[in-house]
Chain A
């Protein structure tokens, strides 16, 4: 069987609360990153506060949540985190959330690579039937990356976000097990 943690540029790794909370705190200073990641109001938190929150979250990791840190294969550098949240077992569907905090690695294929890895994990280790994501209209780079990973457009929630004096849509994208199997010759 293939190594399901490894892609071509990155690998999935455990979440180390101390290391990640420091990174989250640092990446949180980049408001563009925050606005791509989260629909809430961009604000900052101390590493201590994040650490407390993170330790609690990680302790409660159940079969519903699969949360990984992302490391570069060549030098093990921490780039960001990715998680699969199974919100519906009967439909076997999960939301995937991805954040690459190190902006020098945007637009270089890292996002697409880790998304491919998590899809393999979703379909051959958690055995889901579909994976869903939503993304913000003002993040075309991410949208292109997800298209490359195999996601299809499924619609958009209109004008849900209010940033910089105008309203924005939130596209939904999804990929089905059969589609992934076909694309990956299973």
Chain B
């Protein structure tokens, strides 16, 4: 069976609350990262609050609906990003949220590697039927990465995100299990 937690450039981890809080605190200083990742107004949270949040997660234990992962580089173990899968158990699909907080690692294939691990986990360990995601229309780099790994554009909600003086659209994408499987088989050939 394949290694679920190891890609070609990165590996998946569960970080300690303290290390996690420190890193998130650092990433949030990059407002471009925040504004690409999130439609809520960019804001800042104390390291203490981050730590409390991660400690609470430890206390709550695993939920069958949430699968968060941290991401480190294989080469020098740098903590560069995250992804999370939020499941709808009834309909057997998940929403994915993914980001690379350290901009030094943008545009170098790390995102694609993370996505591959995420989809592999979703379809072969969680046995999901579908994975969905959303992004802002002013994030073309992400759109390209998602299309590359097989997500299809399913529509756009117009004027969803008001930012930098403009009403921007949100894009909605999805990939079905059979599509992902077909891509895997295609690659093998």
Residues of A within 8 A of B (CB): 63-64, 86, 89-90, 92, 125-127
B157 within 8 A of A: no
17 residue pairs from A and B, CB less than 8 Å apart: A63-B65, A63-B89, A63-B90, A64-B64, A86-B89, A89-B64, A89-B87, A89-B89, A90-B125, A90-B126, A90-B127, A92-B92, A125-B90, A126-B90, A127-B90, A127-B91, A127-B92
Bound Cα distance from A125 to B89, whole angstroms? 11
Interface size class of B (residues with CB under 8 A): 10 to 19
List 14 other contacts, CB 8 Å, given A64-B64, A89-B89, A126-B90: A63-B65, A63-B89, A63-B90, A86-B89, A89-B64, A89-B87, A90-B125, A90-B126, A90-B127, A92-B92, A125-B90, A127-B90, A127-B91, A127-B92
Query: Which residues of B have CB within 8 Å of A127?
Result: 90-92
Query: Which residues of A have CB within 8 Å of B87?
Result: 89
Bound Cα distance from A122 to B127, whole angstroms? 18
- Chain B, residue nearest A63 (CB): B89
**CB contact list, B92-125 vs A, under 8 A:** 92, 125
* Closest-CB distance, A124 to chain B (whole angstroms): 11
Query: Which residues of B have CB within 8 Å of A89?
Result: 64, 87, 89
Bound Cα distance from A63 to B91, whole angstroms? 12
Bound Cα distance from A152 to B79, whole angstroms? 51
**CB contact list, B135-175 vs A, under 8 A:** none
Query: Which residues of B have CB within 8 Å of A92?
Result: 92
Query: Which residues of B have CB within 8 Å of A63?
Result: 65, 89-90
